Structure 1
Amino acid sequence: MEALNKERRYQMLSLTRLKASMEEQLKQKTVSLELVAKMESTLDDYYRPKLKQFTETTQKALMLLSDKEDAKEDRELETVMLDDINRYQDISIVFQSKIKSYQAKLSDDRVCKSIVPPTSASEPSSSIVHQFTKMKEIEPPTFNGDLTKFFKWKNLFVNLIHNHPPNEMGNTLKLYYLKKSKVGEVEGLLTDFNLSDEGYVSAWDFVLFRFEKHRSIAKAFFRKLQHLEPIKNERNLQKLLDSTNSVIRGLSAAGEEINDTFSRFLAFHTSTKLDSATLKDWEDSLSNTDTYPKFEQLSKFLQCRAFAAEERQREAEFQSGTAPKESRKPPQDRDRDRKSFSATVVRKPKCVLCAQNHYSNQCVDFKAKSPQDRYKIVKKKRLCLICFDSRHGISDCKSKFVCNCGSHHSSLLHFEFKKSYADESAPSEKSSSSAQNSSELRSVEKQSYSCLRNLPNEFVVLPSAIICFSCNGVVGKACVLLDSCSQSTLVSDLFVRKFKLAVQRSQPSSIGGVGKNPINSSSFVSFIVSSRVGDFKLSMDADIVPASSIAYTANFAVPAQLSADIRKYPLADPAWAHERLAIDRVDMIIGGKFYEQIICDESYWVGELKLRRIQFGYTVAGVAPQSIVRSSAFSGCTIQEIDRTLRRFWELEEAKKIAPNRERALASFYHLERSLDKETWAACIKFLVEYREAGHVSLAEPPKNHAYYIPYRPVIREQSSTTPCRVVFIASSHRKGELSLNDGLMRGPVIQRDLFDILISMRSYHFVLCADIKQMYRMVWVHPDDQDRQRIFFRESPSEPVQEYCLKTVTYGTKPASFIATKCLDEVAK
């Protein structure tokens, strides 16, 4: 308490000095913008933070006083402390009102100066009233530390504020605006600079030294160029073009030369962000095959295409009736409507990352992060996963825009999940099964579903590959399909029998197809797969299923030009190198668990087919160039069986098995008997003899399997007048890896009222009785069936045999003792 009072006195001294400083400012006869800025800075940057610290310190002191007894001196001190807080808060309010009045006076003076009388005879005799409106105080351009926006902020600040002559705007006011322009991460950067002419010069030089680094600015623009978001349709062309032009202007301002080579690189980099249709038209529009086009040529092409896309969108909106319709009211009615007034509160958008006034899906910093990091930010701030609004959840979102995958989340949050539901087994089961032989049953229960449908008019080519495999000395090649949506890896039974692979048993898993009976799989094969074109290797387990359940065939002629384009790449499946694609079987389906380890980032479009580089070569997928009369498509997924979920309910409710501890408790008793001095041991014996004479213990029957022995030790409290020696029972004693009695018990809820509520209700009575229940826990009997779990060892003399006793009452030291005793009192009271 003394330390808090000392701190309060120091803070009151600081507040008094600041008050005197502000009063000196108020005594100045001339009111100027510099004076108002200095007063506002003193109030906001110095007085209010000190007032906040003083209020917090006083509140801590008041809390300590409230814990003491109700003394008259303490109550008077509380009143004085509260008066101090109110007095200094009133000073803040008075100075704030003075600042507001000065600002209003300056605004009125500016309006009055706009009325200029004639100065010569040639001018009209009447006063000329210039069309000046009451202007708002200058809002300086803000800067949040984003280097890509530094030159834009600098140019605005220099033209609006920095270049003002001293007779129009002093350096003190310029420093005020300079501090006000810093927001976000750099908000407190200039706090230590005093409001003065010299302070502004130093602060301005510091800002230029801190941020005007051409190498860092150029690097920030290059990073922005690198992370340009690819577009999916022509509606986003203008956005891509504006972002690229913004980078060019920023690099030029940073002193970087935009030469022909860099312009061609910009054209190439921007073209990689285009959608497939726009990229195709761009390539078709190029007639010169000798030199690569410059960015200016691509910019003109994209500008025309973006304009055409916007016109088509407007026309579509007009045709669908979503365009604003012209009013059909008579002219006089429309004029009457124009005379009405309405007030609309526009809610400015706010970015979830940088807190600036733009939408989150337009934030460069937010887009530069990975989808996983964006998802974490949105979840942490509890925003809608579709529109990033904090006022509603995903179930109440009215936005019609969803991800391209069809799920209800923004496309900025889309990423592939690597986790499989089938792998969500309990940690204890994993640890227990790790020591077993790999040939034993695997503790993985799952149910797999597959979808088989006919595609009558088109054929979608699935990514296939020829891989090398090794299984217990057996090596060979296999045709595999890559399925990122499948949560299981499957292998054909014909393939297993053909190579005579080593089969291992597992618990049955049900694989069901739409319209077909489920197929049970109770065995698996362990592989090491490797690439034919590289050093990549991967270990995996595959469930064995009938060959008919993973059937996939493809047989059609590949156009000559398409085949020539595809053969330029090292193919994962050599079947694409022939004039006719012929795939008559699939040996394996590699699921999503290994998909991210196999896939690479590089991909190319060849017509309607997409070539993607993986660890096994280039796969080909997409719509086939010819229509196929009939084909089949397969998709598999795995979910947990419901019996595992149900079983976990009763497993959680089952009582934990407590390890037998008779020998350990007996050894603990012998050690206690030997280690204690005679006086302490005699006091312990006296306490337990009283325990026995009170009938709270009884001799136990021969040992039982479910019996538990509680160790104990004496605790000496010399200052206690009633029980100087008390025996504490240790029901939490256990060996490493075993469970104690308390581990198998539940604590129970708190059923009595809070102490604060009890004290409040007690103060409403004139007379209060306070009583203590002697040996409260020992007044509650334990059921005879449970007394065997409260056994102890005891003898009065080392010459006597050790006897076993059962504690018949609630024992302090057990976890639910407090709840049981309180609950019994509550039931008796009812």
Structure 2
Amino acid sequence: MVIGSDLIPQILLPGLKPNVGGSLIAQNSIFGWILSGPLTERVSTFSTQIVENPGDSLNDLLRRFWEQEEVPAESIPTDDDAFCEELYQRTTFRREDGRYVVKLPFKPSFPETIALGHSRPAAQQQYLSVERSIEKRAELQPYSKVLGEYITLNHMEPCSSHEIVRDGKYFSFYLRHHAVLKPDSKTTKVRVVFNASKLSHSGISLNDVLHTGPVLQNDLMLVILKSRLYRYVFNGDIEKMYRQIYVYDEDQDFQRILFRRSQQGPIEDFKLKTVTFGVNCAPYLAIRTLQKLAKDSQEGYPRSSEILTKETYVDDILSRINPRVFTTGLRYP
């Protein structure tokens, strides 16, 4: 703290100790003892600077303090949120095998005002770079196996290598993808990350032409605190939650990727058939479908419906166990 010399007489108190540590003089003050003089040993020092923010009045600080403790008010839906909800209710349906099919919430301005350009060349360049990284790093070898699982589970299928163009506007998009290592994961140590924010040749990305959708997930802190009320608790997660939900056939061409099944094989074109993490509306579509599943199952499985609605955070479940009857009875296809 730097103070003016005119204040020195006001802070000094009676008391003076010479030869402190052999070479220092200690002077008593209202802040404690002040040391001065030459040093014969190396010491570590630090300084603290305090700057007053003139924009934060005491009233503002107190108001913000109490606001931290308040339960957040429900957000008011925007016009975009209302559009997404209306589209979801009007277009979502359930197949005979129990899986839901949803439509991507494209903005009304697409493709008249905002349009996509070609994206395959940039995606191919990115994929070749990924392959070079896999060759150099042994820990990335499972990458191809993870993508191969998409084919095995029918979560993606081959498609044409020609981009869809009508009246000079593109109605397909290639997602660039890369590997992310998760060394601490007990299941999947290598994850594939799809990027829908990369720009096409027109300067517009897939995420630019899609609505994000409203935030629907429960408050994580409330889910955890509620579990503390129970004597017996269990936790679980919905396996491959996003990929349990399919998208409309005509929307799948906006989720194309490039992939080589084997080192000697050619690079092939595929389209992802399910909700894909990396597309901005994926969290909304997944959680909204989970809510719909809970509502559709409420009559037959009321307890399971309550768990999905109130005791689930995205794909993680934290709820109570009935020690006499441990069954939910609900099968998520």
TM-score, L = length of structure 1? 0.21
2:292 is aligned with 1:827: yes
Amino acid in the other structure paired with 1:718: P
Change (3 A) 1:731 1:768: same
Residue aligning to 2:124: 666
Q: Which runs of 5+ in 1 are unaligned?
A: 1-51, 64-651
**Secondary structure, counterpart of 1:698 in structure 2:** strand
**Secondary structure, counterpart of 2:178 in structure 1:** strand
Amino acid in the other structure paired with 1:668: Q
**Counterparts of 1:825 and 1:668 in 2: how far apart (Å)?**
33
**Counterparts of 2:292 and 2:120 in 1: how far apart (Å)?**
35
**Counterparts of 1:691 and 1:681 in 2: how far apart (Å)?**
17
Change (3 A) 1:697 1:653: closer
Residue aligning to 1:724: 189
Residue aligning to 1:699: 158
2:142 is aligned with 1:683: yes
- Check conservation: 1:680, 1:714, Cα contact below 8 A: no
**Secondary structure, counterpart of 2:269 in structure 1:** strand
> What is the Cα deviation at residue 681 of structure 1?
4.7
**Counterparts of 1:760 and 1:769 in 2: how far apart (Å)?**
14
- State which of 173, 176, 185 in structure 2 corresponds to 1:708: 173
Structure with a larger share of its residues in strand: 2
Q: Deviations over 1:329-357 (max 9, x none)?
A: xxxxxxxxxxxxxxxxxxxxxxxxxxxxx
> What is the Cα deviation at residue 733 of structure 1?
0.9
Change (3 A) 1:679 1:653: same
> What is the Cα deviation at residue 678 of structure 1?
5.1
**Counterparts of 2:130 and 2:229 in 1: how far apart (Å)?**
51
> What is the Cα deviation at residue 776 of structure 1?
1.0
**Counterparts of 1:752 and 1:808 in 2: how far apart (Å)?**
24
- State which of 755, 768, 773 in structure 1 corresponds to 2:238: 773
Residue aligning to 1:654: 109
- Check conservation: 1:707, 1:791, Cα contact below 8 A: yes
**Secondary structure, counterpart of 2:250 in structure 1:** helix
**Secondary structure, counterpart of 2:157 in structure 1:** strand
Alignment of 1:610-625 (within 5 A): none
Residue aligning to 1:261: none
Alignment of 1:307-326 (within 5 A): none
Residue aligning to 1:738: 203
**Counterparts of 2:200 and 2:215 in 1: how far apart (Å)?**
30
- State which of 199, 216, 223 in structure 2 corresponds to 1:751: 216
Amino acid in the other structure paired with 1:684: Y
**Counterparts of 2:228 and 2:209 in 1: how far apart (Å)?**
41
Amino acid in the other structure paired with 1:653: P
> What is the Cα deviation at residue 702 of structure 1?
4.8
TM-score, L = length of structure 2? 0.51
Q: Deviations over 1:258-308 (max 9, x none)?
A: xxxxxxxxxxxxxxxxxxxxxxxxxxxxxxxxxxxxxxxxxxxxxxxxxxx
**Counterparts of 1:737 and 1:662 in 2: how far apart (Å)?**
13
- Check conservation: 2:157, 2:272, Cα contact below 8 A: yes
Identity %: 34
Residue aligning to 1:782: 247
**Counterparts of 1:769 and 1:681 in 2: how far apart (Å)?**
33
Q: CA RMSD in A?
A: 2.8
> What is the Cα deviation at residue 790 of structure 1?
0.5
Alignment of 1:480-495 (within 5 A): none
- Check conservation: 2:118, 2:200, Cα contact below 8 A: no
**Counterparts of 1:684 and 1:665 in 2: how far apart (Å)?**
17
- Check conservation: 1:685, 1:796, Cα contact below 8 A: yes
- Check conservation: 2:117, 2:200, Cα contact below 8 A: no
Change (3 A) 1:702 1:664: closer
Change (3 A) 1:796 1:765: same
Amino acid in the other structure paired with 2:173: Y
Residue aligning to 1:46: none
**Secondary structure, counterpart of 1:786 in structure 2:** helix
**Counterparts of 2:200 and 2:149 in 1: how far apart (Å)?**
31
**Counterparts of 1:759 and 1:679 in 2: how far apart (Å)?**
38
- Check conservation: 1:708, 1:741, Cα contact below 8 A: yes
Residue aligning to 1:210: none
Alignment of 1:372-521 (within 5 A): none
Change (3 A) 1:666 1:754: same
Residue aligning to 2:39: none
> What is the Cα deviation at residue 658 of structure 1?
1.6
**Secondary structure, counterpart of 2:287 in structure 1:** helix
Structure with a larger share of its residues in helix: 1
- Check conservation: 1:697, 1:805, Cα contact below 8 A: yes
**Counterparts of 1:675 and 1:769 in 2: how far apart (Å)?**
40
**Secondary structure, counterpart of 1:771 in structure 2:** strand
Q: Which runs of 5+ in 2 are unaligned?
A: 1-57, 70-106, 166-170, 296-333
Change (3 A) 1:774 1:752: same
